């Protein structure tokens, strides 16, 4: 079989699949628990995740920061290595990600120092 290299090749294959014209290679069909296990293994391999929950989060994407937050802003900041290590240790101790810790710290600072 020649390699597919054009959009039209993929479209033709998709149409054939949707029409039920493609037949599985004998011995390759999985069903039930075997299919579920193979699907999980493929998802973990594709995402590089260690758990299904982590793989699903990676596959779906990041959730919004808040329930009513339609958008958010990405901040890029530099920090000295020592401050980075302190933040990482504190975040781990608090059960937070560093980004959550930074948002919490800025929110507390802003509340204490209104503009």
Mean pLDDT throughout 43-57? Answer: 87
Query: For residue 92, what is the DSSP state?
Result: H
* pLDDT 10s digits, 13-45: 889 988 989 888 888 899 999 999 999 999 899
Assign 65 a pLDDT band (cuts: 50, 70, 90). Answer: low
* pLDDT 10s digits, 73-105: 888 889 999 999 999 999 999 998 898 899 999
CA 97 to chain CA centroid, Å, is: 15
Assign 64 a pLDDT band (cuts: 50, 70, 90). Answer: low
User: What is the structure's pLDDT at 1?
Assistant: 47
C-alpha 30/C-alpha 40 separation (Å) is 13
What does the domain layout of the chain look like in residue ranges?
Answer: 28-64, 77-115
């Amino acid at each position: 079989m020649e390699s597919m290299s054009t959009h039209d090749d993929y479209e033709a294959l998709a149409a054939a699949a949707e029409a039920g014209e493609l037949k599985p290679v004998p011995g390759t069909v999985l069903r039930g628990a075997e299919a579920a296990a193979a699907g999980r293994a493929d998802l973990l391999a594709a995402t590089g995740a260690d758990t299904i929950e982590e793989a699903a989060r990676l596959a779906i994407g990041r959730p919004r920061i808040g329930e009513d937050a339609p958008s958010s802003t990405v901040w890029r900041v530099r920090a000295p290595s020592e401050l980075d290590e302190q933040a990482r240790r504190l975040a781990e101790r608090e059960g937070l990600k560093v980004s959550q810790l930074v948002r919490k710290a800025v929110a507390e600072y802003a509340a204490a120092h209104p503009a």
